[in-house]
A and B are shown apart, each in its own frame.
Chain A
Amino acid sequence: MKSLNKKMGKLAEDLACQELIKKDYQIIKRNFQNRFGEVDIIAQDKKVLIFVEVKAKTGENFGLPEEMISKGKLAKIRHMASIYTNGQEVQCRIDVVAVVLDMNGDLVRLTHYENVY
Chain B
Amino acid sequence: MLVKIQSIANVGLETVPVDVEVDVASKGFPGFTIVGLASKAVEEARERVKTSIINSGFDFPAKKITVNLAPADLPKDGAAYDLPIAVGVLLASGQLPPSILSNLTKMFFYGELSLDGALRPTKGILLLGLFAQKKGNCQIFVPAKSAAEATVVSAIKVIPIKSLISLVDHLTGLKNIKALKYIPVTDELDILPAEFDLAEISGQEQAKRALIIAASGGHNLLMYGPPGTGKTMLARALPGILPPLSTQEALEVTRVYSISGLLKPGLALIKRRPFRAPHHGVSAAGLIGGGSNPLPGEVSLAHLGVLFMDEMPEFPRSVLESLRQPIEDGVVEIVRVLGHVQYPASFTLVAAINPCPCGYLGHPRRECKCSDKQIAKYHHRISGPILDRIDLHVCVSVVEIDKLAFVNIDQNKITSKIAKNQVMKARKIQEKRFKDLPIYTNSQMHNREVKKLCFLTPEAENFLKLASQKYDFSARSYFRLIKVARTIADLENSPKILVNHMAEALQYKQMI
Contacts and interface: CB of A to CB of B under 8 A. Distances in A.
Interface of A: 64, 66-67, 69, 96, 113, 116
Interface in B1-51: 28-30
A71 B28 CA distance: 15
A73 to B, nearest CB: 12
Nearest to B29: A116
Which A-B residue pairs are the 8 nearest by beta carbons? A116-B29, A66-B30, A113-B29, A64-B62, A66-B62, A96-B29, A66-B29, A113-B28
A116 B64 CA distance: 10
Contacts of A67: 30, 62
A96 B30 CA distance: 11
Nearest to B28: A113
A30 to B, nearest CB: 22
A37 B280 CA distance: 60
A96 B31 CA distance: 13
Interface of B: 28-30, 62
Contacts of B30: 64, 66-67, 113
Nearest to B30: A66
Nearest to A95: B29
User: Which secondary structure characterizes the binding site on chain A?
Assistant: mixed
14 contacts: A64-B30, A64-B62, A66-B29, A66-B30, A66-B62, A67-B30, A67-B62, A69-B29, A96-B29, A113-B28, A113-B29, A113-B30, A116-B28, A116-B29
B93 to A, nearest CB: 15
Nearest to B62: A64
Contacts of B29: 66, 69, 96, 113, 116
Nearest to A71: B31
Of B28, B29, B30, B62, chain A has the most CB atoms within 10 Å of the CB of B29
Contacts of A64: 30, 62
A11 B241 CA distance: 83
Given A66-B29, A96-B29, 5 more contacts: A66-B62, A67-B30, A113-B28, A113-B29, A113-B30
Contacts of B62: 64, 66-67
A67 B28 CA distance: 13
B59 to A, nearest CB: 12
A64 B32 CA distance: 14
Contacts of A113: 28-30
B38 to A, nearest CB: 17
Nearest to B63: A66
A113 B308 CA distance: 65
Contacts of B28: 113, 116
A67 B63 CA distance: 10
A113 B62 CA distance: 12
Contacts of A96: 29
A77 B118 CA distance: 40
Contacts of A66: 29-30, 62
A94 to B, nearest CB: 10
B146 to A, nearest CB: 34
Nearest to A64: B62
A32 B437 CA distance: 78
A30 B30 CA distance: 25
